[in-house]
Amino acid sequence: MNYKKLSKLLLVPLFSVSMFFGINNNHQPAAHAASKRAVKVAYQVAESKLGSPYTYGASGPTTFDCSGFTQYIYEQAHVNIARTAQGQYETTKPIQRTQLKKGDLVYFGDSSDSISHVGFYIGNGQMIDAQNNGVITENIDAPWWSIVGYSRP
């Protein structure tokens, strides 16, 4: 058999299998966006935690660090995301700023390899996040943050 024909015959099933299982070759996460209901639940939980204290390494239910907070609120909505801000950035679906909507995550740091903070986007340029002042609502463009990227759990 001709090697060209054989390689074409092998590539079609391989492509089909990779599409079925969500495998991609772009080193981008193969994630599915959280449902509208899950975002609604996560938002309600996030609002209910406003004023909770910040503790480095904490993931709730009464005290949080930034990524512990985003993981916790999505966990309550039955959506599993990574524990760290870097892990969340690397394993959720990347989006552009123009695509931001309530429930998306906003990442801050020095670069995409050095994420140091994450917040839960609530619309109108605002997020709910856990930081030194506890769980608060603040502007994503606050001068003390440097945006690195955005994603959709």
How confident is the model over 14-28, as pLDDT tens digits? 433 333 334 333 334
Which residues are CB-contacts of 48 (< 8 A; sequence separation ≥ 6)? none
Q: Is the pLDDT of residue 38 over 50?
A: yes
Q: Is 129 a known active-site residue?
A: yes
Structure confidence at residue 34 (pLDDT): 83
Q: To the nearest whole number, what is the mean pLDDT of the chain?
A: 85
pLDDT, residue 10, reads: 43
Range name among 3-17, 81-95, 106-120 with the lowest pLDDT average: 3-17
Q: Which of 32, 78, 113, 129 is catalytic?
A: 129
pLDDT > 50? residue 105: yes
Q: Which residue(s) pair with 108 in the sheet?
A: 117, 147
Catalytic residue among 27, 32, 104, 117, which?
Answer: 117
List 27, 32, 65, 66, catalytic entry = 66
**Domain 31-152 bears CATH identifier 1.10.10.10:** no
Catalytic: 32?
Answer: no
